[in-house]
Structure 1
């Protein structure tokens, strides 16, 4: 059983443009026997972008020249020690006027890798951050339910009051206090 915590908002499946880029990078990395390294570097790049307002502004800027964008991203990636394959991938995306799509391309790659590896994503909303014990218990319960290889993506929703909402694939498990109170209110209206 594999259980990890994903910090980014990864789509369930890569599609369209991000799927084409993801498939190309995946196949090339696999062919070069660098797949695990590239998966790790792309996740690190996503985290780097998420943590850097300057990188976010660079990516969001649609008026930037492709050569200028390539130079700027190349400088950042080289300084951070990213491999030639990741740096070339980013250069190709920029040359194709896709710098602004970079976060989606990274998320699409993560989704494609998860799909290829048979890993599902469980979106878990809770009123308060989960403890390590709660995460482990949730992973164990998901494994019991037949979801052995799951990545848990957490979000906080204070309106839930307590409990969890877990969405995995097309299934939704709602044990939140908010929904229990709504069901109780509905029953009481029916009884009146």
Structure 2
């Protein structure tokens, strides 16, 4: 990991841990989870928001106003809103994506959940998603939430990333392995 990336991750982790501990002490983890999800969703769909939090040209006051307005629109808790206001005041909003991801990880760990990133050749049905989650739960012993994306270049099958483990059952990977085997033969 590069030095600036590790510094950003360190900053994000400190803010996320502090907010998580405060919310846990107040019994507000459900609200924190909802706030984290709504802000993550807003950040994922808004190029303008990503530009505002990452721009060194926009003043901290203007960044704070944008974050406060978005927080009010999303109806975030006072604790979450105050943390974001502090981050804006200290010019730390550039770590917002890492901060939100870290918060989500801490909340999931507290609930005994893990997230599996699933890439499929086509969208999974509800029954397929449920079966996959149950199979992964049996393997890891924790509740598994699926984060599913579609990549048609896989042709068929799945790629599942669960922590440091990756399971690739895609047709694309099997064809690549066959191609490599044929190259070795001659």
**What TM-score bracket applies, with the shorter chain setting the length?**
0.7 to 0.9
Partner of 1:185: 179
Map 1:111-190 onto structure 2 (within 5 A): 111-190=105-184
Cα distance per residue 1:9-30 (max 9 Å; x no partner): xxxxxx5222211110011111
Compared with structure 1, are the counterparts of its residues 30 and 182 closer, same or farther at alpha carbon in structure 2 (3 Å cutoff)? Answer: same
Could you say what secondary structure the match of 1:122 adopts? strand
Partner of 2:46: 52
Distance 1:184 1:65 in 2: 55
How far residue 191 of structure 1 moved from its aligned partner, in angstroms, is 4.7
CA RMSD in angstroms, aligned pairs only: 1.9
Distance 2:141 2:147 in 1: 14
Choose from 18, 32, 39 the match for 1:38. 32
Could you say what secondary structure the match of 2:115 adopts? strand
Number of residue pairs aligned between Structure 1 and Structure 2 = 178
Could you say what secondary structure the match of 1:123 adopts? strand
Compared with structure 1, are the counterparts of its residues 190 and 76 closer, same or farther at alpha carbon in structure 2 (3 Å cutoff)? Answer: closer
Compared with structure 1, are the counterparts of its residues 190 and 77 closer, same or farther at alpha carbon in structure 2 (3 Å cutoff)? Answer: closer
Cα distance per residue 1:60-113 (max 9 Å; x no partner): 322121122212321222233222111101011111211222122111211222
Could you say what secondary structure the match of 2:137 adopts? helix
Work out which structure has the larger RCO, using CA pairs closer than 8 Å and 6 or more positions apart in sequence: 1
Partner of 1:24: 18
With the length of structure 1 as denominator, give the TM-score of the two structures.
0.83
How far residue 189 of structure 1 moved from its aligned partner, in angstroms, is 4.1
Which is further off, 171-180 or 66-75? Answer: 66-75
Gaps of 5+ in 2: 1-8
Could you say what secondary structure the match of 1:145 adopts? helix
